[in-house]
Amino acid sequence: MFKKKNIPNMLTILRIILVPLFVVLIYFPYEAIIDMLDTIGLDAIGNTFFKFLSDFSIYIALAIYLIASITDFLDGFISRRYGLITKFGKIMDPLADKLLVSTGFIILTGEGIIPAWITVIIVFRDFFVNALRMFGTDNNKELSASLSGKIKTVFQLIGVPLAILNLAIMPKYGYLAFVEYATKMNGFELFVNVFMSVAVSVATIATLASFVTYFIRFRKDIDLEK
């Protein structure tokens, strides 16, 4: 399939594959399948395998998301360490990152854990900066990540898994819920909600700062006539 095996590129492809798997695990109609199996007399199967998936799907999805996040770190480290940087990697690695992050935020917004306005900021910034990077590449301009961009990435990698865990243990309480409902949470729930809220807040602020930074860096190169 590929002319040469390149571990960083394979990890990038794996990350892209894991994104739809993450979505399926959360939205798969487990109860409907269990009811169908019960109707046709295969309830034993429905009450074991699919019941297990139904009970632990979010935790499995969390594990999938963490694995995908780890591949993000590994492919970058390996490609730089062993000089395996390719044109495929330059294009697909950022795309895989944006698919992973955007999907996580969109799903968590749909589940009521993260506000829509935060997700809009995250997704808008990612697509806008990606467009600037493509434009910069065409103009031979250096597109190294800014400090705010690195902070954004770190806190997104912390905030999204915590938000998924928050969804698993207390789906009725989302972003900043501890401000109003702290007395209704146990110690672990409070810990998860507080640190999820802080991480998402820092990621959002860093996202805005990164957006402004990129725009300032490349505004002189934007020519609407070309």
In contact, 115 and 109? CB cutoff 8 Å: yes
| pLDDT value for 108 | 97
Q: With 90 as the cut, is the pLDDT of residue 114 above it?
A: yes
Residue that wins the pLDDT comparison between 223 and 183: 183
Domain ranges of the chain: 1-90, 113-226
Q: Give the count of beta carbons closer than 10 Å to the beta carbon of residue 139.
A: 11
Q: Give the count of beta carbons closer than 10 Å to the beta carbon of residue 23.
A: 16
pTM reported for the whole predicted model: 0.88
Whats the size of the chain, residue-wise?
Answer: 226
- pLDDT tens readout for residues 141-171: 655 667 888 889 889 989 999 999 999 999 9
Q: Which letter, b or e, does each residue of 159-191 get, where b requires 16 or more Cβ atoms within 10 Å of its Cβ?
A: bbbbbbbbbeebeebbbbbbeeeeeebeeebbe
